[in-house]
Amino acid sequence: MNTLKNLSRRQWLQRVGGTTLAGTVLLSVPSFARAAQPNVVVIGGGFGGATAARYIKRRYPQADVTLIEPSKHYYTCPFSNLYLAGLREFDELGHGFEDLKAQGIHVIHDLATVVDADKKQVQVSTGQALSYDKLLLAPGVDIKWNALEGYDEAASLLAPHAWKAGPQTQLLKEQLEAMPDGGVFLMVAPENPFRCPPGPYERASMVAHYLKHNKPKSKILILDAKDNFSKQGLFQQGWEQHYGDMIEWVPYSQDGKVIRVDAGKRQVETEFSEIHQADVLNVIPPQKAGAIAAAAGVTDASGWVPVHTDTFESKLVPDIYVVGDATIASPMPKSGFSANAQAKVAAAAIVNSLLDQPTAEPYFANTCYSLIAPEHGISVANAYALENQKLIETSGGVSPIDGDATFRQLEAEYGSAWYQAISEDIWNSPLAKVK
Ligand code: FAD
């Protein structure tokens, strides 16, 4: 893999700027290209959906854009680990939809329950039906209940996953605060693919930060269904530096794979029948595309959504576009940044298609910052493009392993700046302002 060092700033901007370039094609389109006012419906107001709604409306103001999202405030998973550490307030993770409404986007706070691709209609839980010319789905992930024996929705109230930000995140924090000093925080980490590959390991870091300052005799045990993980060398280096032997990581090959959960007893069992006892049990279970994707008929046997990666239109159902965690878009990770980048490409493709314009060539970028300690940030960054209709990594890399304290501190600051910038780009809600 290329490192960031190998990539000149100009090359980087050329790549990253590609998504904007796609927009340039649109701006040259005459406004009389289509007389009728097309209907675009977007399901999901998270990183992917809210971005798509905003950029479709921005590129094609005459289009009627409706965003369906049940929550009045969307709480981000990014920075939810910092909330567990006591470094952010819960409210700072929440974003409202006022600014999207101010752009002329209709926002319906409801759950989409039916997609009728033949009639090109979406129905919400109240029974209201909406017709669409183009539909974009960004429903994120759903938990595959019982894929881990014993881990169903009721079990998640005792052993929270906290892999969707909200009450689950608050429950995990309450449990952490109630844990005795000397207790074991046990995390079950899933196989690939799953939402946010570095997320479990940032969570372990942030829990360790909390424990170090509040319950220093405690331990963190990560039982992992994988043999390696994102930014592994950097995480393990940081763990040793800040937390000594507080964090123990057990890979798949050393019996790390959990196959059974007893949430009532806070116990898990591994493949080779070892039972582990936890004081706080955080199970990050296998996942699949949000349920509305299957209801729309766009998922395949894997439970995820195959898409044409030049447009993010479904490979199975025309005029339905899908972005974000729900999609199969490897090598792009399932991240908020990826969802945002994919949504801009899909927005451009939708508008081009509505205006009978050719599809623009897309480029994508993703950066994932993780915090190991308040002044110790690390990152992975990649640029992506299409080669023979296949999404490939064109450049990128991780933070240097020999980065000094100043470098790590700067990356922690860049992480905060990233959060503020992407929040403003998507929701631009007053809650997004970092205190
Ligand atoms: P989501 O953001 O989950 O949005 C989906 C939305 O769709 C939800 O609001 C939901 O209510 C709505 N929805 C679902 N079904 C329906 C329906 N039927 N009708 C109407 N609405 C519906 N990513 C990063 O880039 N950087 C990070 O630092 C980072 N940190 C993370 C830390 C943790 C602990 C976790 C768990 C994840 C992290 N991520 C991070 C990943 C990021 O949260 C996801 O990749 C991102 O949220 C995906 O965006 P999305 O739009 O696909 O889904």
Ligand 1 site, CB within 6 A: 43-49, 68-71, 74, 77-78, 80-81, 111-112, 138-140, 163, 195-196, 199, 203, 290, 292, 324-326, 334-337, 339, 368-369
pTM for the whole structure? 0.93
Predicted pLDDT of residue 36 = 76
Structure tokens given for 407:
């470098």
Dump pLDDT digits (tens) for 140-179.
Answer: 999 999 999 999 999 999 999 999 999 999 999 999 999 9
Dump pLDDT digits (tens) for 188-203.
Answer: 999 999 999 999 999 9
CA of residue 216 to ligand 1 center, whole Å: 32
Tell me the mean pLDDT in the region 288-293: 98
Q: Of 26-40, 125-139, 254-268, 371-385, which range is least confident? A: 26-40
Pick from 91, 31, 26, 22: which is nearest to 344 by CA?
Answer: 22
Cα 389 off chain centre by: 24
Predicted pLDDT of residue 431 = 61
Ligand 1, atom nearest to 74 Cα: 9
Structure tokens given for 232:
């592994």
Dump pLDDT digits (tens) for 26-42.
Answer: 333 444 444 479 999 99
CA of residue 163 to ligand 1 center, whole Å: 9
Using CA positions, which residue lies closest to atom 48 of ligand 1? 336
Pinpoint the residues of the chain covered by CATH 3.50.50.60: 19-142+287-362, 146-283
CA of residue 140 to ligand 1 center, whole Å: 5
Q: How many CA atoms lie within 13 A of 293 on its CB side?
A: 33
Fold observed for domain 19-142+287-362: FAD/NAD(P)-binding domain (3.50.50)
Tell me the percentage of the chain whose pLDDT exceeds 70.
Answer: 91
pLDDT confidence bin for 20, thresholds 50/70/90: very low
Pick from 65, 63, 121: which is nearest to 354 by CA?
Answer: 63
Predicted pLDDT of residue 181 = 98
Tell me the percentage of the chain whose pLDDT exceeds 90.
Answer: 90
CATH of domain 146-283: 3.50.50.60
Predicted pLDDT of residue 290 = 98
Handedness of CA 121, 124, 130, 133 (dihedral sign): negative
Predicted pLDDT of residue 24 = 30
Task: Give the residue, 25 or 211, on which the prediction is more confident.
Answer: 211
Predicted pLDDT of residue 328 = 98
Ligand 1, atom nearest to 203 Cα: 34
Tell me the mean pLDDT in the region 379-408: 97
Residue 217: exposed, middle, or buried by beta-carbon count in 10 A (0-12, 13-18, 19+)? exposed
Tell me the mean pLDDT in the region 342-347: 98
Question: Do 363 and 383 touch, CB atoms closer than 8 A?
Answer: yes
Predicted pLDDT of residue 267 = 98
Flag whether pLDDT at 10 surpasses 80.
no
Mean pLDDT of the chain: 92
CA of residue 325 to ligand 1 center, whole Å: 7
Cis, bond preceding 331 (omega within 30 deg of 0): yes
What DSSP string runs through 135-202? Answer: EEE---EEE-TTSSBT-STTGGGTS----SSSHHHHHHHHHHHHSPTT-EEEEEEPPSS-S-TTHHHH
Return the best residue to mutate from 196, 235, 322, 422 for the ligand 1 pocket (most ligand atoms within 8 A of CB): 196
Ligand 1, atom nearest to 323 Cα: 52
Return the best residue to mutate from 335, 338, 379 for the ligand 1 pocket (most ligand atoms within 8 A of CB): 335
* Residues sharing a CB contact under 8 Å with residue 47, sequence separation 6 or more, in sequence order: 76, 138, 324, 336, 337, 339, 340, 343, 422, 426
Predicted pLDDT of residue 307 = 98
Dump pLDDT digits (tens) for 52-108.
Answer: 999 999 999 999 999 999 999 999 999 999 999 999 999 999 999 999 999 999 999
* Residues sharing a CB contact under 8 Å with residue 392, sequence separation 6 or more, in sequence order: 331, 384, 385, 386
Ligand 1, atom nearest to 68 Cα: 20
Q: Of 31-45, 123-137, 332-346, 384-398, which range is least confident? A: 31-45
Residue 423, Cβ neighbours under 10 Å: how many?
A: 23
Cis, bond preceding 193 (omega within 30 deg of 0): yes
Flag whether pLDDT at 14 surpasses 90.
no
Tell me the mean pLDDT in the region 201-213: 98
Q: What is the dihedral of CA 209, 197, 416, 214, to 10 degrees?
A: -10
